[in-house]
Amino acid sequence: MNTSSQKVALITGITGQDGSYLAELLLEKGYLVHGIKRRASSFNTQRVDHLYVDQHENNVNFKLHYGDLTDSTNLIRIIQETKPDEIYNLGAMSHVKVSFDSPEYVANVDGIGTLRILEAVRILGLEKKTRIYQASTSELYGGMPENKNDKGFYDENSPFYPRSPYGAAKIYGFWITKNYREAYNMFACNGILFNHESPRRGETFVTRKITRAVSKIALGLQKELYMGNLDAKRDWGHAKDYVKAMWLILQQDVAEDYVIATGVTTKVRDFIQMAFSHVGFNIRFEGEGVNEVGILDSIDQDIYEKSTGLTLNALTLNIGDTLLKIDPIYFRPTEVDLLLGDPTKSKTKLGWEPEYDLQGLVEDMMVSDLNLFKRDMDLVKAGHQVFNQEE
Ligand code: NDP
């Protein structure tokens, strides 16, 4: 039930990592939250199932609607029915590597999908009521070294040079959002978010792929981890912190675009080391390029046993075993080597401060993945069949 003072939000991509954390945040703040979910042949609402309440109850503040960013009439209908104060357009095909396989679809969803939302608001005459957040991305910069600012970062004034169909589609989303702000005086803003991760990150994204594989290796469920470019550098934050910035962006007096980042960049190989350290494994890298391998150098028994709940004697690995190999299949046709964002504007203007550092993020993801696979092991021991999504 909506009381007149209660704010109403509509989230596209509510079933994704950010959508689920944002829904939790807005519900805590007392919003009525509507979300758009896609019809799929299997369940895709796991990340928000805990928020769902029987729709026959009174004061239901969380509602899901079937829809798709490729379907304008459906978007117009949902926006007409919900009349949101705030729309967060988080829906997207968000995987950079996969965007090379389905570039036309990505352009339609990530690029034109943004236009469909903006146009729906305009067609319905809600330009003055509805504020719009557009999920823009650090992939717009493409990691071009010459485009960094004097301090060596990418900021709100750095030129764009997307290096993937995903980046190219998102650049349209960025500019059309800015254009509608300027052309129609709409409160439409871009958050240019650098990579943000969490235990809810999709299983095929590099950080989650690592924490899942390291957890399985530590539990004796997997032998090796296959990776692509270990030297790519990313500015990684925690999704819980980043959704707070999205909300802050729409609470300002003036609509503007903001970079959201930690300002710290880390190589993929260092993220891997941190994940292995969580279970007490020390990894040594040897070789070069596609022949590089990661070798188990030593194990800290206390850390291993504390983090996994298993005894070291039960582990079938030996010191000197190869735990990581390179598979060129994971190389991208055009790579973004370095991403490092300058959060000065978001910190000073929005007062945004992240609570997690990289160590805290890795720990959160490792604890969650270890628990996930330990629970699966217990279920298997009890005779249940377990279906896991695999990369
Ligand atoms: P996810 O991939 O976890 O979630 C994407 C969401 O979009 C899912 O709910 C998905 O639905 C939905 N979606 C996909 N295609 C469509 C479609 N055709 N119509 C409607 N919804 C669709 O992404 P994140 O939560 O990590 O990211 C949120 C947004 O922020 C995305 O736009 C992403 O591109 C952007 N972004 C993310 C960054 C990050 O590091 N995470 C960095 C910068 C920007 P389903 O569950 O059915 O697949």
pLDDT, tens digit, 9 for 90 and up, residues 141-187 = 998 888 888 888 999 999 999 999 999 999 999 999 999 999 999 99
Which stretches in the chain have pLDDT values below 50? 389-391
Q: Rounded distance, CA 246 to CA 102, Å? A: 28
Strand 322-326 relative to strand 293-299, pairing? antiparallel
Please confirm, yes or no, whether 66 is among the known catalytic residues: no
**Interval between CA 202 and ligand 1 midpoint (Å):** 10
Q: Is the CB of 65 under 6 A from ligand 1?
A: no
**Helix 206-218 / helix 301-308 crossing angle, nearest 10 deg:** 100
- Calculate the CA 280 to chain-centre distance: 27
Which residue has tokens 């989230």? 11
Closest among 272, 275, 301 to 285, alpha carbons compared? 272
Q: Is the CB of 190 under 6 A from ligand 1?
A: no
* pLDDT for residue 391: 37
Query: What single string gives the DSSP state of each residue in 168-211?
Result: HHHHHHHHHHHHHHHHH---EEEEEEPPEE-TTS-TTSHHHHHH
Catalytic annotation, pick one of 166, 180, 258, 356: 166
In tens, the pLDDT along 355-375 reads: 999 999 999 999 999 999 999
Per the CB < 8 A criterion, the answer to whether 137 and 89 are in contact is no
* pLDDT for residue 53: 86
Q: Is the CB of 339 under 6 A from ligand 1?
A: no
**Interval between CA 95 and ligand 1 midpoint (Å):** 8
Which residues make beta-bridge pairs with 131? 86
* pLDDT for residue 383: 80
Q: Rounded distance, CA 229 to CA 330, Å? A: 7
* pLDDT for residue 77: 98
- Calculate the CA 128 to chain-centre distance: 30
Which residues make beta-bridge pairs with 284? 295
Alpha helices in the chain (DSSP H): 17-28, 72-82, 96-99, 103-106, 113-123, 165-184, 206-218, 239-250, 268-278, 301-308, 344-345, 358-381
**Interval between CA 92 and ligand 1 midpoint (Å):** 4
Please confirm, yes or no, whether 21 is among the known catalytic residues: no
* pLDDT for residue 222: 94
Q: Is the CB of 43 under 6 A from ligand 1?
A: no
In the chain, what percentage of residues exceed pLDDT 70? 98
The answer to whether the complex's ipTM is over 0.85 is: yes
Q: Is the CB of 1 under 6 A from ligand 1?
A: no
Q: Rounded distance, CA 225 to CA 301, Å? A: 22
Please confirm, yes or no, whether 70 is among the known catalytic residues: no
Closest among 327, 295, 362, 162 to 229, alpha carbons compared? 327
Q: Is the CB of 193 under 6 A from ligand 1?
A: yes
Would you put residue 286 in left (φ > 0), alpha (ψ -120 to 50) or beta?
A: beta
Catalytic annotation, pick one of 24, 139, 197, 305: 139
Closest among 151, 242, 158, 159 to 196, alpha carbons compared? 242
Alpha-carbon distances, residue 58 vs 3, 55, 292, 306 (angstroms): 12, 8, 59, 45
* pLDDT for residue 388: 57
User: What pTM was estimated for this model as a whole?
Assistant: 0.95
In the chain, what percentage of residues exceed pLDDT 90? 86
Closest among 124, 128, 95, 127 to 109, alpha carbons compared? 95
* Shortest-distance Cα residue to atom 28 of ligand 1: 90
